[in-house]
Structure 1
Amino acid sequence: MTRFRFPRFRIRWRANAFSDVLGFTFAHWRKQPLLIAGLAATMLTATLADVLLPLYAGRLVDAIASGSTDRDAALSAALSAFGALMALGVGMMALRHCGFLAIIRLTLNMMTDIAGDAFHRVQRFSTNWHANAFAGSTVRKITRGMWALDLLNDTLLLALLPSLAMLVGTTILLGSYWPVMGLIIAAGSLLYIGMTVSLSLFYVAPAASLANQWDTKLGGALADAVSCNAVVKAFGAEDREDARLSRVVAKWRSRTSRTWIRGTNNGTAQGILLVLLRGAIIGTVLLLWWHGQATPGDVTFVLTAFFLLQGYLRDVGVHIRNLQRSVNDMEELVALHAQPLGIEDKPDARPMVVGAGEIRFEDVTFHYAGHETPLYKDFDVTIQAGEKIGLVGHSGSGKTTFVKLIQRLYDVTDGRIVIDGQDIAHVTQSSLRGEIAIVQQEPILFHRSLADNIAYARPEASMAEIIAAAKLANAHDFIERLPQGYATLVGERGVKLSGGERQRVALARAFLADAPILILDEATSSLDSESEALIQEAMERLMEGRTAIIIAHRLSTVRSLDRLLVFDRGTIAEEGTHEELVRLDNGIYRKLFERQAMDLARGLAA
């Protein structure tokens, strides 16, 4: 029985994850400096109210305590302290409200920019990157990182900044009355913060980072199974996929459980330290009172300050844990942003304009990453403008790579590819691909309407132009028979359509593109005879007046082409017309053609 093995994650939490994520965040802060400055000033001013609150609470108690000797003076002092407490409360609430409105604007601006930047980069990553990445995992990295940014901004600007201001302000205020009290608070706060940061960075964060990796893998496994549900059903493999997912979930659960337990242990250690600090502060103020160095109001002042301080300290622990969590959640998004695109436009890249459509490979050497032996070595070939070329050869001989290099989905290792005298490495990729129409063997459609899919080649096209392209592709009749016609949604990747219908929609898209260069990954090899005839007719119509390159699977479909290139291990072993190649003794093309002819004869006999 086959055993399925999952890729082993050799993930180690990077010590510079915090600096990478915070640097990424601060770079976006710098785009809105006035908003950041105003927000910080607002929150710091609001925190000042909390720092002064215990002072006026103490004065209120002293005023009440002195009421037995001079009630009028005591009442005046009490009302003055009461008025100050109310003013501080109202001012704090107003400033915090303004701060919350400001951070909503800041965070939404940043989330919008980050989502757009991430999508921009993912769309432009190389074909090789997309071939090795789970779509579900990529989406999870982006969305999780976006929402982590919301928590990160709240933690830094609404939580940690006011908390640290409160700690510093309270330490200075109490220290100005009793230096020993300021010393105790400063030492206790530094010890508490140091322990919290250390536990978060070196105890909780590594486990959280690994848990996030498995969270990403879980999203990828779900997306992989759901997107391939037709294959699952075809083989009755629902139970097998359940078992496969359960193994991923078990690993995710184990890593997540360890993270949560470590977070709980961190919180308990913080609570113990707060209890010890409480004992030190209350014991010290009692001694001061006993020795006549503190009034009942002073005791109230210290106790109120401590309880506020304790709340802020407890919150600092929570905020640091939130900071650690948000950094872990953003780590993959930041890494995605930092990853090179792979295939990039050169700084001096210019738009390509193709006229005739001549294509030349000049001394091209190319090998895939990780392969020591090049697929192409000093490879030369010229395709004349308007020529119709067929690419023939065994699987892996280099046919598909040939057309991918023309589209610059990969960069050549050496040499160059020239279209109408323009080196494709020195033009913009979008303009290059805009001059090439491609119809793939398995066309991919968006889960949008048929009209939208056809018009994808030229979004500004009118409905009349879309219908004209569909007619040229022999697609109009079947579209008209659908209940919603051109407004019909085709399903994810076009699953609601048959293979022949998808191919005709893809051909209509190519007709509408009206590009001077056409690449056809022959689309008739797995279709019924009626669909094949319709598509073959549309393909011949589409090739007229264009430089056309056809990857041939059925050799009977390339007999009328101008020239055939027979690939063998990255070289052109034979070239010529169909009639010339079938006459070559022991030729590769002749053997392939005879084998297909024999297979067809056996099929007809059966």
Structure 2
Amino acid sequence: MLLDRLHGAEAYRAVLAFLVRQWRTRLPLVAGVVAAIVGSTLADVFLPLFAGRLVDALSTADRTAARGDALLAFAAMAGLGLITLALRHVAWALVVPLTLSTMQAVAQAGFHRVQRLSTDWHANSFAGSTVRKVSRGMWALEGLNDTLLLELLPAFTVLLGTMILLGLQWPVMGLVIGLGSLVYLGIVVMLATRVIAPAAQLSNVWDSRLGGALSDAVGANAVVKAFGAESREDARLARLLGKWNRRTHRTWMRITWSITAQFALLLVLRTAIVGTALWLWWTGAASPGDVAYVLTTYFVVHGYLRDIGSHINRVQRGVNEMEELVALEAEPYGVADRPGATALAVTDGDLQFEHVTFHYAGHETPLYRDLSVHIPAGQRVGLVGRSGSGKTTFVKLVQRLYDVTGGCIRIDGRDVSGVTQASLRAHIAIVP
């Protein structure tokens, strides 16, 4: 399976590249979401600045002189709050059609591709697992859109804006916030990609197997009953559930330890920022309002940093849940239309096998070797033979569900390998 080759950073690249391709087809919506959410976030960045000015105005001995400054700071805070509210609403309103249209397109494309994968692929894949991969990937995309555009993007905007704003006034404070945030983000990304992701990938594989076992057992219940195999299916499901339980427990415990580590890092960062603010006050480089500004800024940054850990974990889970769907997109068709293929127009229905050789993948002995058959138009032919002699394969080759190894098959003189499969199968039907 292609999925077996997708690990770590490669899986992230494949899934995120897939998501970017979806965004490119919806650029106006994506641009609207980005502009609105960045604008609302910048309002959050400037809010602590005016909170600090308000504190300075309120702490001034001459209340009459400071009244104007206080009212101006208050009006700025109220205005920024309204801007944040309005722009966030616009961003969330725009992300709804963006996500719904993307989910619809991804589900449709996934189904389209699965329908056209080779007969061998379907024979070796559980239908229930395939359905689970497509549906889980579709819903994971909804979470990735929200997390990347509405949560991670504003979080990074706040961090960058705060670092610049504080750094312009106190370079040491900008350095503390910048370096602390980079260390925190680096450790969080490492935990998500190197610790949680491998475990989550395995638990998702067993989740797909569990879904496939349930779906196929229920779908084939008549056969199960016919053989009195209910107890066997119960035991089989119990084994799968046991494996799924162990894999999922490991994943969830890694997430739990990761969250604890993130909160410990935030505690260290908070101590460093508050300590720097006190040092600036002791040295006379900051007023009480400045300290209030720094503390308010920290609470804003803390909220975004704390949530960044959760957002990165959600991105990691979304990537793990989408990688099976992305792997389906890269799965080769097996039998595909050749370049320049044209539609088949059957006029008479004359069928010829010309020196056809064919063997299934993995079989050394050909099923057919130099087979030549001519069935004139209008003739009715019955194929008789023992099981496995190639009766069904004969018709499947006519439909080009498989490509012949040698020779060719012609309908009304046209080689079926040079016509579109849709037109070929529109003329030839199998009722199994």
Q: Name the TM-score, length of structure 1 as normaliser.
A: 0.70
In the TM superposition, what is the alpha-carbon distance from 1:307 to its structure 2 partner?
0.8
1:215 to 194, 204, 207: 207
Tell me if 1:81 matches 2:69.
no
Distance 1:169 1:176 in 2: 11
Tell me if 1:62 matches 2:56.
yes
Distance 1:438 1:116 in 2: 25
2:20 to 23, 26, 29: 26
> Structure 2 vs 1, CA of residues 274 and 292 (structure 1 numbering), >3 Å: closer, same or farther?
same
C-alpha RMSD of matched pairs (Å): 1.4
Tell me if 1:17 matches 2:11.
yes
* Secondary structure in 2 matching 1:286: helix
Distance 1:242 1:13 in 2: 33
* Secondary structure in 2 matching 1:412: coil
Q: Which runs of 5+ in 1 are unaligned?
A: 1-8, 441-606
Distance 1:437 1:110 in 2: 34
* Secondary structure in 2 matching 1:382: strand
* Secondary structure in 2 matching 1:389: coil
Distance 1:222 1:337 in 2: 25
Residue-by-residue CA offset, 1:354-403 (whole Å, 9 max, x unaligned): 22211111111111112222221222111122222221222111211111
In the TM superposition, what is the alpha-carbon distance from 1:12 to its structure 2 partner?
7.2
Tell me if 1:367 matches 2:351.
no
**Counterpart in the other structure of 1:501:** none
Distance 2:164 2:256 in 1: 32
Distance 1:131 1:359 in 2: 27
Residue type of the alignment partner of 1:55: L
Tell me if 1:98 matches 2:90.
yes
In the TM superposition, what is the alpha-carbon distance from 1:13 to its structure 2 partner?
3.3
If each structure's helix is expressed as a fraction of its own residues, which one has the higher value? Answer: 2
Distance 2:48 2:205 in 1: 46
> Structure 2 vs 1, CA of residues 198 and 225 (structure 1 numbering), >3 Å: closer, same or farther?
same
In the TM superposition, what is the alpha-carbon distance from 1:14 to its structure 2 partner?
4.5
In the TM superposition, what is the alpha-carbon distance from 1:15 to its structure 2 partner?
3.5
* Secondary structure in 1 matching 2:335: coil
Distance 1:420 1:164 in 2: 64
Residue type of the alignment partner of 2:300: L
Contact 1:375/1:398, CA 8 A, preserved across alignment: yes
**Counterpart in the other structure of 2:247:** 255
Residue type of the alignment partner of 1:110: T
Distance 2:129 2:34 in 1: 36
Distance 2:70 2:6 in 1: 60
Distance 2:55 2:382 in 1: 96
Distance 2:199 2:252 in 1: 9
Tell me if 1:325 matches 2:329.
no
Which has more radius of gyration? 1
Contact 2:177/2:273, CA 8 A, preserved across alignment: yes
Q: Name the TM-score, length of structure 2 as normaliser.
A: 0.97
> Structure 2 vs 1, CA of residues 270 and 242 (structure 1 numbering), >3 Å: closer, same or farther?
same
In the TM superposition, what is the alpha-carbon distance from 1:118 to its structure 2 partner?
0.7
In the TM superposition, what is the alpha-carbon distance from 1:10 to its structure 2 partner?
7.3
Contact 2:352/2:373, CA 8 A, preserved across alignment: yes
* Secondary structure in 2 matching 1:393: coil
* Secondary structure in 1 matching 2:68: helix
Equivalent runs, 1:182-261 vs 2, <5 Å: 182-261=174-253
In the TM superposition, what is the alpha-carbon distance from 1:11 to its structure 2 partner?
8.3
Distance 1:439 1:396 in 2: 18
Contact 1:270/1:317, CA 8 A, preserved across alignment: yes
Contact 2:8/2:194, CA 8 A, preserved across alignment: no
**Counterpart in the other structure of 2:348:** 356
> Structure 2 vs 1, CA of residues 10 and 244 (structure 1 numbering), >3 Å: closer, same or farther?
farther
> Structure 2 vs 1, CA of residues 77 and 104 (structure 1 numbering), >3 Å: closer, same or farther?
same
Contact 1:13/1:210, CA 8 A, preserved across alignment: no
Equivalent runs, 1:266-277 vs 2, <5 Å: 266-277=258-269
In the TM superposition, what is the alpha-carbon distance from 1:198 to its structure 2 partner?
0.6
Distance 2:269 2:399 in 1: 67
In the TM superposition, what is the alpha-carbon distance from 1:236 to its structure 2 partner?
2.7
Distance 1:238 1:132 in 2: 23
Distance 2:71 2:8 in 1: 57
* Secondary structure in 1 matching 2:289: helix
**Counterpart in the other structure of 1:429:** 421
Residue type of the alignment partner of 1:23: A
Distance 1:231 1:26 in 2: 45
**Counterpart in the other structure of 1:413:** 405
Distance 1:321 1:201 in 2: 9
> Structure 2 vs 1, CA of residues 12 and 386 (structure 1 numbering), >3 Å: closer, same or farther?
closer
Residue-by-residue CA offset, 1:51-98 (whole Å, 9 max, x unaligned): 1011000000000000x2x21221211111010000000000100000
* Secondary structure in 2 matching 1:418: strand
Residue-by-residue CA offset, 1:153-211 (whole Å, 9 max, x unaligned): 11110011110010000011111111111111011000000000011001000000010
1:295 to 281, 287, 312: 287
Contact 1:24/1:334, CA 8 A, preserved across alignment: yes
Tell me if 1:304 matches 2:262.
no
